[in-house]
Amino acid sequence: MAENETTLIRLCEIAAVPAGTVKRVKVEGLPALAVYNLNNEFFITDDTCTHGQASLSDGVIDGDMIECPLHAGCFSIRTGEPLSFPATVPIRTYRVRIVGEEIFAEIEKAGTQ
């Protein structure tokens, strides 16, 4: 049985996301992503809020939570879970891989049958 393949997609340099900030990154083949630096621990989620057309990277980081700039719905940066109304649908999260000085998203592709 074929195993799922993992692809690394380069997003940006570590230096582009200082501690306590979030950066919007758009790369081919993926929706717009938000890359977060929480005390030099990195996380990646979808950038578009699940409640409306707002860019979470324009929002405010509060601990390990991102507050949407449009209606103040909050999501866990670690898990994508919605934490406060009107956010009710999780945002997708992505596995992070650091290679050298660069941040990559680790994407699982379905294995070929």
> By C-beta, is 51 or 105 nearer to ligand FES?
51
Position 73 contacts ligand FES (CB under 6 A):
yes
> By C-beta, is 73 or 104 nearer to ligand FES?
73
Position 80 contacts ligand FES (CB under 6 A):
no
Position 51 contacts ligand FES (CB under 6 A):
yes
Tell me how far apart the alpha carbons of residues 78 and 71 are, in angstroms, rounded to a whole number: 21
Interface stretch with ligand FES, choices 20-28, 30-38, 46-54, 92-100 (CB under 6 A): 46-54
Position 24 contacts ligand FES (CB under 6 A):
no
Question: Pick from 66, 68, 77, 91: which binds ligand FES (CB under 6 A)?
Answer: 68
Contact 72, 81 (CB under 8 A): no
On the question of a cis peptide bond just before residue 86, with omega within 30 degrees of 0, the verdict is yes
Q: What's the order of all strands across the beta sheet hosting 102-109?
A: 5-13, 102-109, 93-99, 41-46, 33-38, 22-25
Token pair belonging to 52: 């409306």
Nearest 5°: phi and psi at 101? -105, 20
Position 87 contacts ligand FES (CB under 6 A):
yes
Q: Can you give the binding site for ligand FES, defined by CB under 6 A?
A: 49, 51-52, 54, 68, 70-71, 73, 86-87
